[in-house]
Structure 1
Amino acid sequence: MLKKLLSLSACTLMLGGCYYLGETLDTSKLKEVKPKNEVVQHAPLTYEAPSVPAGLEAVPFTVNLPVDLPFEAVPFQRPIIYDLTREGKEVKMSVSTFSRNKEDQVRLEVIACNREEEFEKQKTNKVTLIDGTVAYYQKDRILFEKDGIFYEVIYTNHQLSRNEHQAEIVKIASQML
């Protein structure tokens, strides 16, 4: 127990945002976003977190956000969290940032989900992250799975060549392991 407590304390001090949480989504600090249209009975519930730390604490899995970005970024924006089954067990979180200079049109979005979602692997390039994790790169995104959490990193930077973009997005994703 002491070892887990020390690990939790060390983890919460990390700048990148590493948190250990319970088994279900904690909505106590989240604001439910009501859909503008009629609600479908089985549609995911959508929440907005008041801050990045509150969002990271709310989800039932650990997310390490990248810290060393290859562009001058504004702080990560408040996460949007989706309760996919309305039971708090299958959850998707999206958090994004963009370049301070709006003219650059550089954007980064990190999506983490504790449920596998379908994507077309045949249109992707297989790449390897820093710890040997296999990832799939396609145009402006990279997808990978680590410890049962499925990640999608979307990085838009039209100023880079394809090879430069792939190298940068691999470095960004590798920070999340």
Structure 2
Amino acid sequence: MKKIMISSLLIFSLVGCQSNTSSEFDTSKLVKIEMSDVTEEQQKNIPITYEANSLEDGLKALPFEVKLPNSLPIKDTEFQPPVINDMKHGGEELMTEFQAASQDGKESILISVFNKEVNLNDEGTREVDINNEIKGYYGNNSLSFNKGNVSYTISFLNKELTEEERLIELTKIAEQMI
């Protein structure tokens, strides 16, 4: 009995590690979006776009970890399956978009994730402390920050919020992702 339990734990540990340690972009459960109005030459210069069938499939396909927020400021909504853009066709540079919207379409959140660190201090943004370790940059209804070698931009559209209220909500979302 003891050997069976140890074997089961060992197998469980190995399976758990396999899904988290993959450094390869896995397109096996993604749907490639074909662009019929684009020539072969043009296709070489634009990202390959994939859609996931589920949020879970999209997250598992990525060769890096993305922690999405558990709580959103939009009631009764959840993230849709992501769109993943393979920027250079080799799976090394990926830009992934996660979106959630209210039933009436008046509010929406878009989280864009890029698996490389980006200079976020653009003109027209203001620096914001997300926590003691990470600073973000706010501007244009969006909060951007780098965590490790991954860049995040969270956009929140809600015309009823003031700039400060929107910044507070965006900061709450970012804190959950760190």
Answer yes or no: same fold by TM over 0.5.
Answer: yes
- Please give the TM-score of this superposition, normalised by the length of structure 2: 0.83
Which residue of 2 is the match for residue 13 of structure 1? none
Does residue 37 (structure 1) correspond to residue 40 (structure 2)? The answer is: no
Aligned partner of residue 174 in structure 2, secondary structure: helix
RMSD between superposed Cα atoms in Å: 2.3
Aligned partner of residue 167 in structure 1, secondary structure: helix
- Please give the TM-score of this superposition, normalised by the length of structure 1: 0.84
Separation in 1, partners of 2:101, 2:49: 22
Aligned partner of residue 20 in structure 1, secondary structure: helix
8 A contact 1:21–1:58 mirrored in 2: no
8 A contact 2:118–2:146 mirrored in 1: no
Offset of residue 36 of structure 1: 3.9
Partner residue of 1:47 out of 47, 50, 72:
50
**1:117-158 deviation digits (Å, cap 9, x = unpaired):** 565622101001134301000031011000100001111111
Which residue of 1 is the match for residue 108 of structure 2? 107
Unaligned runs of 5+ in 2: 1-9
Unaligned runs of 5+ in 1: 10-18
Aligned partner of residue 135 in structure 1, secondary structure: strand
Q: Which amino acid aligns with 1:165?
A: R
Separation in 2, partners of 1:38, 1:120: 34
Runs in 1 of length 4+ with deviation above 3 angstroms? 116-120
8 A contact 1:23–1:89 mirrored in 2: no
Q: Which has the higher helix share?
A: 2
8 A contact 1:21–1:59 mirrored in 2: no
Partner residue of 1:56 out of 37, 55, 59:
59
Which residue of 2 is the match for residue 130 of structure 1? 131
Separation in 1, partners of 2:87, 2:102: 30
Q: Structure 2 matches for 1:23-172, cutoff 5 A? A: 23-39=23-39, 40=42, 41-100=44-103, 102=104, 105-117=106-118, 121-172=122-173
**1:27-59 deviation digits (Å, cap 9, x = unpaired):** 000000012421411321100001000000001
Identity of paired residues, percent? 30
8 A contact 2:137–2:143 mirrored in 1: yes
8 A contact 1:73–1:98 mirrored in 2: no
C-alpha change, 1:96 and 1:31, in structure 2 (3 Å) is same
8 A contact 1:33–1:47 mirrored in 2: yes
C-alpha change, 1:73 and 1:123, in structure 2 (3 Å) is farther
Which of the two has higher C-alpha Rg?
A: 2
